Structure formats: structure tokens, C-alpha cells
Amino acid sequence: MTDKYAVIGNPIGHTKSPMIHGSFAQATGQDIDYSAIEGSLERFTDDVHAFRKAGGRGMNVTAPFKLQAYALATERLERAELAGATNALKFEGDRILADNFDGVGLTNDIQSNLGFPFEGARMLVLGAGGAVRGALQPFLAQKPAVVVLANRTQAKAVDLAKQFAGHGRVQGCGYGDLAGERFDIVINGTSASLRAELPPLPAQALQGAKLAYELAYGKGLTPFLRLAQNAGVPKLADGVGMLVEQAAEAFLWWRGVRPDTRSLIDRMTIPLV
């Protein structure tokens, strides 16, 4: 019997999830049907329950529903609890389980696919929103020397750092506090690139970095990546690997088998020009 899964978001026309999970199912011999649902901004809960009643086994959740999905869940795994949001649901009888694979997907991509270990590294993360919150626990579990959060509103970065202080060395600051600092890995977790804008990052904060990573994907050489290129950062990457890796974690959670990701990432990668 074919099991039903879906991604829900609004808008959803741009999603790559059906293609990704279809590729995973074909490669692993899993019998699933995976669709895209444009959720109603006013009736998200009704949309989820309708999918469950139609036999749905699980859902990926994308913007703007990650907080609503978190609230809807009857049980939340640790990553979802720490992030305060979820990007994946699993339905088991009356139970709605929630997890968040964004951070572990990003960690897997940077460490396993790109070959940049976090242990002992000095990491700079731009932004203090939901994407960054979801990534912090997986980052800190790899024992970097420090994770510095820089945000336009300094207090938000400082507060977020305090919330995760028990998981490792993490600091919050404003962009103006980065003068004279050097980092191994710099990650843009802001939404600036979606608007073709640049966070107010001093260029010298990129000097000496080994990797500049843009969470947005398919945007080519964004203003952030161009700044990194001009600063001499040798490796630039966007978030396509994160997208595939978080999907693989959800697939494993749902189906009990983890698909290979490397070939699919290679096929989906667009040259950064």
C-alpha cells in the first residue's frame, strides 16, 4: 500500500521537496506518494487534519507554518523544543510528533559534504531568527571553539546566546562588535539574500575564513557570497545541500532508511556565478 506524505507551505510552487523525496523513494525502494499542499493562512490546522484523515503519514513544513506546526504537535522532540519550531511532522494514531531537521541538515552538509569540521572552529552566524535558532543545538553539539551570533538588534542575539549557553560556548553581539575578529566558518542565516540585500557585515570579519555559507539556495552569487569572494574566502556554498540533507533526515524518521544524498546534491547544485 502506498503511504502518503506531503510538504505544506504558502506559497509552495517553488518547492523541490516532491522531487527530492521522489528520488529518495526510488533509490531506496520505498512505496510512497509525496505531494505539495498550499496551506491556508487561516486554516492550517484544518489542512493538516484533512491530510491525516486522507491517510497521510507525515509532512514537511515550510514557511510560514513552522510555528503553527510546533503548536499543533502533541509531542515534540528535543530539537523542535529547542528551536521552538518544527519542519517535520509524523502521524501515529492520535499522536502528532514534531521534529526539526534544519540544523542537523546544515551541519551534515558543511561537515560531511563540504569537509569543514566544526570541532575547534570559530564560527560566525549572521542573524538570530528561526533558522539560526534551529541550527544552534546541532552546531554546539560538534564542539566548536565558539559560535558568535551577530544581529542587527544586538539584544536579540545576546538573548538567544544565553538560551543556548548550556550547550556550548556561544556569544551574541551586534555587527559593529565584529571589528578585529576572525572566523573559520561564516554562515548567513538572515533573509537579506532573498531581497538581494547584504547584512551590515564588516568585510574584515570574512578575512581568513575558510568557508562562507549562504542558507538561501538557487540565488547564485548573492551579495553576501560576493562579499566573501572579494574578501578571498576560498570556498563558497549555498543552502542546496542543507535542503537535501534535512529532507534525508525526515525520510529516515518516517521510513527507517536513510537515502544517499551526494548524487542528488550534485545534480541540484547551480554554479555560483
Residues 79 and 98: their CA atoms lie apart, in Å, by 9
Count CB atoms within 10 A of the CB of residue 45: 15
Active site residues per annotation = 66
Residues 225 and 220: their CA atoms lie apart, in Å, by 9
For 226-234, the CB contacts below 8 A with 24+ separation are: 227/198, 227/201, 227/203, 228/186, 230/203, 231/203, 231/204, 231/206, 231/207, 232/206, 232/207, 233/186, 233/206, 233/209, 234/210
Q: Which helix (H) or strand (E) holds 9?
A: strand 3-9
User: Which amino acid appears at position 6 of this protein?
Assistant: A
Q: Which residues pair with 146 in a beta bridge?
A: 122
Pull the grid cell for residue 193: 539574500
8 A C-beta contact, residue 224 and residue 199:
yes
* Sign of the four-CA dihedral 102, 108, 114, 120: positive
Q: Length of the chain in residues, anyone?
A: 273
Single out the residue of 148, 190, 192 nearest to residue 173, CA to CA.
148
